[in-house]
């Protein structure tokens, strides 16, 4: 994921800051003094020096997705902050003020500030699959940690940026609850329960999962059996009816759009096709 993010960041920088790819490199190395001395081209460097979870954005919610095997519950991704020290290095400068370097840094600052929430075209496909965006924050306030970084890298303190990217991390924590097609519950009202005795009350519930031809759940649809039992589908497209599955010969479905369809109740997962 980090490699995908950094490749996307490189594309964003070149496009948003209008930097020439044939004349300036964007790299992600530890800028030690020896590394800087070995540069042969102007270089914009993003040094990843810290990463930790953004606890303020943590979500303990589970996302639900129904499949033919049951209901899959997946823990929402965590959010991680990637902290970068951003520097520009030119082998030679126009003058002692380092104007070339600072002009590049200025354009990069504007580009990053414009992309506080990355446009979709810059977001890697692996992040889009998690249905979350990439957030970017520039902090220009003095930071004592940065001065320590320059010292540890054997560099002189120079104008720089602090850039934080907040990206999702999928922990791959999920559980599968098998879909129950028919449930029978026997209730005994007597105080004494004899082994093998029949239940005083028998509660039967059968379930069907109804989707449209695109695989999306059909919600708030009225479902009725040929013997008169009826109920509405929930947000997941599931309807529960107090009837034995084997006794149902026909299901009539009335959708919110006013379509009336007859389906075969023998199937566990019913698919409603749109009218041609």
C-alpha triplet 138, 144, 148: angle, nearest 5°? 110
Q: Would you say residue 97 has pLDDT above 90? A: no
Query: Which residue is listed with tokens 């990355």?
Result: 118
pLDDT of residue 210: 81
User: In sequence order, which residues have a C-beta less than 8 Å from that of residue 69 and are 6 or more positions away?
Assistant: 176, 178, 179
Query: Which residue is listed with tokens 């199937």?
Result: 267
pLDDT of residue 263: 75
pLDDT of residue 108: 95
Q: Would you say residue 113 has pLDDT above 90? A: yes
Q: How many CB atoms lie within 10 A of CB 84?
A: 24
Instruction: Express each pLDDT in 128-153 by its tens digit.
Output: 888 888 999 998 666 777 888 888 88
pLDDT of residue 275: 41
Instruction: Express each pLDDT in 150-169 by its tens digit.
Output: 888 888 888 899 999 999 98
Q: Tell me what percent of the residues of the chain surpass a pLDDT of 70.
A: 78
Q: How confident is the model at residue 29 (pLDDT cuts 50, 70, 90)?
A: very high
Q: How confident is the model at residue 203 (pLDDT cuts 50, 70, 90)?
A: confident
Report the chain's mean pLDDT, rounded to a whole number.
Answer: 81
- Residue 36 in 3-state DSSP? helix
Q: Would you say residue 38 has pLDDT above 70? A: yes
pLDDT of residue 28: 96
Identify the burial level of 25 via C-beta atoms within 10 angstroms of its C-beta, where 0-12 means exposed, 13-18 middle and 19 or more buried.
middle
Q: Would you say residue 274 has pLDDT above 50? A: no
Asked whether the whole model's pTM tops 0.85, one would answer: no
For residues 178-187, give the mean pLDDT: 56
Give the span between the Cα atoms of 221 and 208, in whole angstroms: 12
Instruction: Express each pLDDT in 98-109 by its tens digit.
Output: 568 888 999 999
Phi, psi of 79 (to 5 degrees): -115, 130
Q: How confident is the model at residue 82 (pLDDT cuts 50, 70, 90)?
A: very high
Closest listed residue to residue 267, CA positions, set 258, 62, 253, 256: 253
């Amino acid at each position: 994921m980090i490699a995908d993010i950094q490749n996307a960041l490189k594309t964003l920088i070149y496009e948003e800051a209008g930097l020439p790819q044939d004349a300036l490199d964007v790299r992600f190395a530890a800028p030690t003094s020896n590394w800087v001395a070995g540069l042969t081209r102007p270089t914009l460097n993003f040094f990843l020096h810290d990463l930790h979870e953004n606890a303020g954005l943590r979500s303990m919610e589970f996302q639900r997705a129904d499949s033919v095997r049951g209901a899959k519950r997946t823990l929402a991704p965590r959010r991680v902050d990637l902290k970068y020290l951003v520097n520009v290095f030119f082998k030679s400068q126009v003058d002692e003020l380092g104007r070339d370097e600072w002009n590049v840094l200025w354009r990069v600052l504007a580009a990053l500030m414009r992309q506080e929430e990355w446009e979709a075209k810059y977001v890697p496909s692996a992040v889009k699959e998690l249905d979350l965006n990439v957030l970017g924050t520039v902090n220009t306030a003095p930071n004592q940690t940065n001065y320590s970084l320059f010292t540890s890298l054997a560099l002189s303190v120079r104008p720089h940026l602090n850039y934080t990217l907040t990206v999702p991390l999928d922990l791959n924590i999920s559980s599968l609850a098998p879909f129950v097609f028919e449930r029978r519950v026997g209730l005994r009202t007597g105080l004494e329960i004899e082994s093998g005795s029949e239940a005083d009350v028998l509660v039967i519930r059968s379930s069907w999962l109804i989707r449209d031809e695109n695989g999306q759940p059909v919600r708030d649809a009225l479902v009725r059996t040929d013997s008169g039992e009826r109920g509405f589908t929930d947000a997941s497209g599931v309807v529960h009816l107090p009837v034995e599955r084997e006794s149902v010969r026909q299901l009539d479905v009335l959708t919110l759009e006013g379509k009336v369809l007859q389906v075969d109740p023998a199937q566990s997962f019913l698919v409603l096709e749109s009218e041609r």
